[in-house]
Amino acid sequence: MRYAMAVDTKKCVGCSDCVVACQTENKVPVGYCRDWIVEVTDGTYPQLEMEIRSERCNHCENAPCVRCCPTGASHFAEGGIVLVTPNQCIGCGACIASCPYDARFPHPDGHVDKCTFCIHRIKNGLKPACAAVCPTKCIYFGDLDDPNSEVSVILKKRKSKTLIPEAGTVPHLYFLI
Amino acid sequence: MTNRRDFIRITAYGAGAFAMSGGFLQAVKAFSSPEKSGALKVDLTRTPTYCEICFWKCAGWVYKSEDGKIWKIIGNDEDQHCNGRFCPRGTGGIGMYADEDRLKTPLIRTGERGKQVFREAGWDEALEYIASRMKTIKANHGAESLALFTHGSGSSYFTPLLKAFGSENIAEPSYAQCRGPRDDAFLWTFGEEVYSPEITDIRDTKCLVLIGSHIGENMHNGQVQEMSDAIDKGATIITVDPRFSTAAGKSKYWLPIKPSTDIALLLSWIHEIIYNEYYDKKYVERYCLGFEQLREHVKTFTPEWAYGITTLAPDLIRKTAREMADASPAVIVHPGRHVTWYGDDTQRTRAIAILNALLGSWGRRGGFYRPVRITLPSHPMPEFPVPGKTWTDLFPGQYGAATGVVSNAMIDASIPGNNPGYPIKGWIVNGTNLINTIPNQANTLNAIQNLDLLVAIDTMPAEITGWADVVLPECTYLERYDTLRTGPHRKPAIALRMPATEPLYDSKPGYWIARELSKKLGLENYFPYEKQEEILDWQLKQIGSSLDEMKKTGVKTFEREADDLYYAPDEEVAFATDSGKIELYSAAFEGLGFDPLPKYTPHEEPPDGFYRLIYGRAPMHTFGRTANNAYLTDLMDENTVWINPKIAKIWDLANDQYIWLQNQDGVTSEFPIKVRITERIRWDSVYMVHGFGHAQKQMKRCYGRGASDTQLITRALVDPLMGGTGMRGNFVTIVTEKAEKEVAS
C-alpha cells in the first residue's frame, strides 16, 4: 500500500479551505499550518499563466527527514505515510532543515509537526480533511498500488509533476498540470 | 521578485505565515420525504446549522470535542448549497464564535457621538432606552422616520418589528450597494431575478462568461464548485476583467478590458451575434419582444467600434462571440453579483440579460435553470399598520425603476439640508457596518450626527457600533436558532440552524432581542411565541416534518413536482413582464424616462498620475465581517495594493513596501497598504481586496491592517434608474510618505 495525493492545479482556486479544514480537524494552533497555498504567475501582461497549488508534506518514499532523525520520531507508518511521534521528538530541527519542501514546523508544544495525510481519518475510510472539504474537488487521494483508486485513475488520465524531483526524494504528492 | 514572475506563498507556518413575486415559482404543496422518520440515528456530537459567514447559507454540522467545546464545522452532504463542502470562511466559522473581541454586553453611549465612550447596561435598561427614543421619534415625526438597515438572518425579526411599529423603511445595502442593478435588469427583462444562490446552471454549461465576476475569489460556494465541474467537463471560460483574476487563470480567453467600457463590449457582442445570425432564432421569435429595435440599435456597434473604446482586439471579440454561439443554449453570460460600478449598472446588466436572451440560455440546460422553493406557512399574525409614507416619498420622482429600498436614499434623508419629503431620525442597524458599506463616509457620518437614535445590533464591534447610541450584542449563528432556510434551488429544500452551544457573555439571539423590544413598545402580539423553536416546530409540522426530525437531518430536500428544471422544447411561457415576453426593448424603461435599450456612455478617466481604484474579494474573507476572525486572519491579515510593474517603476516602488493612497478628492487612506507589484493588473488601475483598514480599535487583530477602499470611495456614481451607488469612479495616486499621522476619529 502506498498512499498518495494529487492536486489539480487547473481547478484549485487557492481559497485556502484546505488550510483551515486541516487546522480545525487536527487542532493545529492558529498561526501554524500543515498545508498551504502557492500561487505562481508567469508571463508579461497580458500574456499570463497562473498555477495554484495546495502544498503539504510530500510523504516521500526516500524521505530525508526520516533518514536524519536522531531519535526515530520521524518514521514511516503504514502506506508510506511519514509521521512524527511527538513524545519521541526532541525538537532538534534536523528534519526541518533536511526537508526540501519546507513542510515541517516546530509545534509550540515542543515537537515537530506536519501533515499526517489525516491517518486517523483514512483508517476509518474517510478522506484527509483537505480532500474532503475542497470546494473545487481538486484534491485526489488513495493508494497507488490500487489501480482503481481515485489517485491512480487520475494520474493515469492526466499529466502530472512532482516538486523538486532532482532532490531524489520520490514524493507522493503529485500536481496535475 | 522580478516583474515577470510573481511568487506568493499565501500561508506559511509560524509567521501567521424575499419574497418571490408573481406566479412563476411554484409553492410546493405535496411533500414526499426521501427518508421516513425513525430510521435515522441521532449523532449527539453534532448539531445542524447553516452558515452565516456569507449569504450563500451553506448547511453543515457543528462537531464538538469530548470536552464539549466546538471542534469543527463540516458541510452537510445532503445540502445543495455546499454538497458537503464548506468554504474556508464557513470552515473557519468557529473563529466568529471564539473571538475574544466580541460585543459582550449592551452598551449605552455616555460621551460625544463617535468617541466610543459607553457604559455597560443591562438588557432591560438598554431596551427601555431604545423604546423610549423610538416613541419620541414616532410622536414628533411619525413612525416612518425610523429606518432599519439590515443584512443576514436578523432581518427576519427586526423587519416585522419595524413594520409593527409603522415603518416600511427597511433597507438592505445588498440592494443599492451590491446586486440591485442586476436584479432589476433581469426583472425588467425576464420578469424574474436571478436569485441567491444564482440560478446559473454552471455545472452543465459549455461556456461561462464572467464580466468582472471573480468566481473563486468570491467564494460563493456552489458556483465555485460548479465552475470546477465545468472545467472538468471541458467548458470554455471567458473572463472579462482589467485584472488577471483567478478565474482568468482558468480561462481560455482573458479579455483585459479597459475599465468602465463593458457596455461597449456587450453591445458589440450583441452586434456580432445578431448580424452573423448566431442568435437562437426560434427562441427569440417565440419568447422575445423588440428584436427589430435591438437589431437597428446595435447596427454600428461593430468589434472595430468597440476596439477603440475597450482596447480589446476585434478578432478577440469576434472569436468569443462565436464561442458563445457555439455553446448556445448551454452558455451563461454571468449576471455578476456585486455590480454597482459606474452608475449605469442597470443598463449594463440589461445588456447581459439581452445577450443571454439572444443566446437562448434562460430556462435552458447549461444556462439558467428554473428554481423552486418551499413556502412555509406563517403563523397567523395581526395585520401590520399601513404606513402613511414609504421610502419613495423621501425624494419623490427619483429611482423609478427600483424594486428594492435604496439605503443611500434613507441616509440622504437623514440630512436636513437635503430637504427630504420627510426626515429620517432614527436608525436601527443590524449586521451591516454602514460606515464601510456605503460610499462617501463623510456623508454617512453627517447623517449620523443628525439622528435622534442610532442602535447597532451585531456580534462584533465595528466602525458603526462606535457611532451608536446603544449597542446590542447579538450572539453568533452557532449559539442560536434562526428562521428555516428555504431559498430557491434546483430542488425545494429546508435547512435548520440550531444552537451548538449556549451564547457566550451576555449576548442574545436576534429573535429574543426583537421580541423583548416589542414588549417595551406594546407590540408583543406580533411575537406570540416566547421561544423561536416553538415557531419552527409549528411551521415544520404544517409540512409534515418536525423540529426533532430536522435536528437529525439538518437538511430536508424534496423532489420537484414536475420535471421542469428547464423549459420544455416549444413550451409556451408567460414571462412576468408587462408584455408577457422577454423584453429586449423595454417599453417600461421608456415610460419611466430611461433608455429602452442599453447605450454606451464614456466615463471619466483617471487624471495623470492617478489610477482607477478597483476592489474585490478574497476567498477567505466576507466583506469586513471576517477581518478579525483568528482562523481567517491567519490566512490573510491585510490587503495589498496590486500595481502594474510599469507603474511601480515610475514611482520607484518595491514589493512589500508600505504606501498610502490618496484619491481625487484629497482623501488619504488612514492606514498604509503593502505594495504587490504584479503583471496581473492593467497600468491604468490599481486593485485591493475590500474589507480591510479597519479603524475600530476594539477589533484588535485587524485594526489598522491594510487600507479601506470605502474610505477612498468618496464619489458615488448613482444609478438614476434604481439608486445603486457606483463605486468604481474613484481615482487614487500614490503617497510614499505621510507627513503626519492623522488622528483617527
> Which domains are assigned to chain B?
194-370+568-591 (3.40.228.10), 611-735 (2.40.40.20)
Judged by DSSP in three states, B369 sits in coil
Note the pLDDT tens digit of each residue in B3-19: 333 333 333 333 322 23
Above 60 in pLDDT, residue B742?
Answer: no
A176 to chain B, closest Cα gap in Å: 12
* Per-residue pLDDT at B624: 84
Share of chain B above pLDDT 90, in %: 91
Chain B residues near residue A37 by CB distance under 8 angstroms: 9-11
**Placement of cell 500500500 in the chain:** A1
Chain B residues near residue A45 by CB distance under 8 angstroms: 244, 256, 644, 679-683
Judged by DSSP in three states, B631 sits in helix
Under 8 Å CB pairs connecting chains A and B tally to 167
Residue B694 DSSP one-character state: B
* Per-residue pLDDT at B44: 61
Burial class (CB in 10 A: 0-12, 13-18, 19+), B197: buried
Would you tell me which residues 248-307 of chain B have a C-beta closer than 8 angstroms to some C-beta of chain A? 248-250, 254, 256
Note the pLDDT tens digit of each residue in B336-387: 999 999 999 999 999 999 999 999 999 999 999 999 999 999 888 899 999 9
Q: Is residue B360 within 8 Å of B280, Cβ to Cβ?
A: yes
Chain A residues near residue B97 by CB distance under 8 angstroms: none
Span of B36-40, B422-426, B567-571, B686-690 with lowest mean pLDDT: B36-40
B8, B224, B249: residue with CB nearest A136: B224
* Per-residue pLDDT at B43: 57
Q: How confident is the model at residue A145 (pLDDT cuts 50, 70, 90)?
A: very high
* Per-residue pLDDT at B21: 29
Note the pLDDT tens digit of each residue in A108-139: 999 999 999 999 999 999 999 999 999 999 99
| Mutate: best of B4, B10, B316, partner A, most A CBs <10 A | B10
A33 and B13 within 8 Å at the Cβ level: the answer is: yes
Q: Is residue B471 within 8 Å of B456, Cβ to Cβ?
A: yes
Would you tell me which residues 41-60 of chain A have a C-beta closer than 8 angstroms to some C-beta of chain B? 41-46, 48-50, 52
Task: For chain B, say whether A163 makes contact (Cβ under 8 Å).
Answer: no
Above 90 in pLDDT, residue B538?
Answer: yes
Above 60 in pLDDT, residue B158?
Answer: yes
Cell of B223: 458556483
A24 and B9 within 8 Å at the Cβ level: the answer is: no
| Closest chain A residue to B6, measured at CA | A41
User: Any idea where the domains of chain A sit in the sequence?
Assistant: 3-176
Note the pLDDT tens digit of each residue in B97-121: 999 999 999 999 999 998 999 999 9
Chain A residues near residue B620 by CB distance under 8 angstroms: 15-16, 20
B244 to chain A, closest Cα gap in Å: 8
A135 and B221 within 8 Å at the Cβ level: the answer is: yes
* Per-residue pLDDT at B8: 36
B11 and A16 within 8 Å at the Cβ level: the answer is: yes
Long-range contacts of B571-577 (CB under 8 A, 24+ apart): B573/B287, B573/B363, B575/B24, B575/B190, B575/B191, B575/B192, B575/B287, B576/B21, B576/B22, B576/B23, B576/B24, B576/B190, B576/B191, B576/B192, B577/B188, B577/B189, B577/B190, B577/B191
User: Average per-residue pLDDT in chain A?
Assistant: 97
CATH topology of domain A3-176: Alpha-Beta Plaits (3.30.70)
A30 and B94 within 8 Å at the Cβ level: the answer is: no
Task: For chain A, say whether B630 makes contact (Cβ under 8 Å).
Answer: yes
| Closest chain A residue to B630, measured at CA | A30
Above 70 in pLDDT, residue B740?
Answer: no
Residue count (chain B): 745
Would you tell me which residues 205-224 of chain B have a C-beta closer than 8 angstroms to some C-beta of chain A? 216-217, 219, 221, 224
Q: How far apart are CA B575 and CA B569, in angstroms?
A: 16
A46 and B256 within 8 Å at the Cβ level: the answer is: yes
